[in-house]
Structures are given as C-alpha cells and as structure tokens.
Amino acid sequence: MDAADCASGWLLLLAQLPKSPSSARVALWRRLRAAGATTMINSAWVLPETPPHEELLGQLREGVVRQGGTAFVLHISASSVEADEAIMTGFRADRAREYDEFAERCSALLDEIGRETMARKYTFAEMEESEQDLEKLARWLAKIQERDFFPDERGQQAGDMLAQCRTAVDAFSQAVYAAEGVTGTNNRGGQQAPDGEDVG
C-alpha cells in the first residue's frame, strides 16, 4: 500500500474515556495497537479506510460509550499528498519499532543457540525451547506484517532474520539427534529414539 492506495481515505477514531478505571483505556490502546492503528495526537487514532477497520472502530466506539466515555468515528477523504505522507510516516515508524524489537529477539535466539553449540549442550530440552522460541517469533512476525499497511524493506529484512533463526534451530536439532543417537522416523514422520520413544 502506498500514497496511491489511499484514495479511499482514512478512518479516524476520537475517543475519551473516564479517568477510572484505567484498565478501560489500556484495553482500548491494546486493541488499536493490535489492529495497527497509529495516533497523530492524543486520543486520535487513524487506520486506512477498509470495511474490516470500519467495523472494528465501530465496535470500539460502542464499547467506549458503554463505559461512559465519548467516541466518534470519522471518515476522512484522501487529502493532500503531504498529509497522507505524514500519516503513512506514523504507520511506518510504529512498524519500524516493532521490527527493531523483533530483530533483537531473533539475535537473542541466535546468540543462545551459539552458546549452547559452543558448550555442546545438545539436549532435547534445549532443542524444544529453541523450537518454541522460533514458533513464537514466526507468529509474532505474521502479526506485525498483517498490520504493516505500507511495507518497505524492513519487512523483508525481518523475514530474512526469521529464516536465519529457522536454519540455526534446524541445525541445532540435527546436532541434538546425533548426540542422542536418534535414528529413523516413526509413522507420523517424527524422530524416534533407539528405545522407540517418540521425540518428534
């Protein structure tokens, strides 16, 4: 999506909740962030105008009103190129922060695998932990990319880092199987230990 794709405009949620309980404001913030909304000023959230986004903001507006707050959903027609670019810059900055944190987590996983490899700590427990961390990273990246409305090279770089992690985890798993003397596969395609215990 780029400036040319913004012809339909934007959706703007203006919301104000009572000061207490604060949990209501936190819940609203989380829902909007999970959807990929960006904020230009306090309590003013923006999303590209799409039917799913319109439905979401409508639900959130109703929720705010039920909790004693005030909220409006406004349809903003595509304005000047400068305004559209300013809004898209906000979206990209939000995703950039997420991609930076994702890259840090990937580096941490690669470092951990490197340390375990140097220590030759080839155990099924370490292997399972690494595989779980990898799957968490994969799910996280999918969520980031789903709300990355204006993708740039950062998304590709994140995908490349995830691929590096997957390669490292696969190599570590093979080292664990070799160290534990695991050979052959069972009928489900998993690895099988010499005593027949399923480990995959």
The predicted pLDDT at position 4 comes to 43
CB 192 within 8 A of CB 198: yes
Q: Which residue has the tokens 């987590």?
A: 105
Divide the 200 residues of the chain into consecutive groups of 10 and give the mean pLDDT of each group. 58 92 91 94 90 96 95 85 87 96 98 96 95 98 96 95 98 94 52 44
State residue 43's pLDDT score. Answer: 82
pLDDT at 186: 42
| Number of C-beta neighbours around residue 64 at 10 A | 22
